[in-house]
Every structure is written in C-alpha cells, then in structure tokens.
Amino acid sequence: MPRGNGRHIRLVRDWAGGPGKSDPNPASVPPLSAAPAPAPAAQGCNSEQIPASAPASRYRQQDDGSVADTETGLIWRACLEGSAGAACDRGEPLALNWAEALTYVAALDRKGAATGDGDWRLPNIRELGSLLELQCAGPAINRVLFSSAASTDVWSSSPANFHTHYSWYVDFATGALTYGEREKPKAIRLVRDAR
C-alpha cells in the first residue's frame, strides 16, 4: 500500500508522556498482519488528555455474543471472522483479499438466511471507523467489549473511488482509515443493522 502519497487519512494523537507514564506512541507499535492470528497486543491509551470516542457505556453485550452499539444502531460480531468463543480464542482470524471477503460474506448470509441468522455484512468504512477508540492504539478499539481485538488491518466494503484496484480498511494498530490494494489479505469483522 502506498504510504506518503498524500491520499490516506491518518488520525493523529498527541501522546503526552511524563514521569511514570508509558509511551503509547502508535509509531512504536509494529503493524501486525492478519495471518496468522496476531496475539492481542498491549494496548496504550491516553485517557487523561483525549476523551473516549467509543466508551464501554455505548455498547451492550447481546445474548448471542454479538455487541450492540447503542449510538449507531449497529450490531457487531465480537470476534474477527475465523475466531470463535467467548474470548475469541478458538481458531484464527481469516486473512482474505477484498473479493474473497465479499464472497465469504455473501455465502455466510445465504447460509444464515436459512437458519434465521442472516443479514451479516461487511461494514462500510464509516461504520467500521465508528469502532475506533481514538484515545488508544495497539489496538485502537474498546477492549472492554472487544477484549481480544488485535492490532490488525480489517477490510470495509467501501471501494476507493480514485484507484479501481484499491478499497478502504481500518488499521486497528494505529486507528487509521486508509486504503490499499484489494489483493492484500486482511481480517474481516461483520456487522448488521439492529432488528
């Protein structure tokens, strides 16, 4: 993915260190690939200077293990696809290119329609970006409800309008909404609208 071409969006945090404070500088957190499964990273947050953008009070754990976002009305799968269990510790997150991700979701939705568990989809970039906890990095997500979330890249369903072979994704290591080549494998997190 081209960096430094002036066409990606990066959220910037002003991390203030001091005596006794750890340095949660996103630049110090190495990006992890979506395959094999990255271990949950040590998250760094700056709650003293940056207000929470995705506080735990905004989310509600559902009976089926999914997570409801009361602000957006979206319901998220707690685990990246390929992982399962209460702690998302069974299996490994799938690493799919963008076309494979879209095909996977369509097949899952067809299967779910027969069992009443359909309507799961790949989120668009704004929906996926709504999960970002801007006071944190490594990963930039609320770890109360998404406790095993990894610092990895996650596809959105949004194509990049300026490059026909690029699509948008969220880099959860740093909290960046950016785009990359569709052939590069990334993880996926599914969403659906509240019923």
CATH class as words, domain 46-193: alpha beta
Residues in the chain: 195
* Sequence-distant (≥ 6) Cβ neighbours of residue 152 within 8 angstroms: 32, 33, 34, 38, 80, 93, 139, 172, 173, 186, 187
Dump pLDDT digits (tens) for 76-101. Answer: 999 999 999 988 999 999 999 999 99
Dump pLDDT digits (tens) for 152-180. Answer: 999 999 999 999 999 999 999 999 999 99
E-strand stretches of 17-150? 44-45, 59-61, 67-69, 74-76, 83-84, 90-91, 136-137
pTM: 0.77
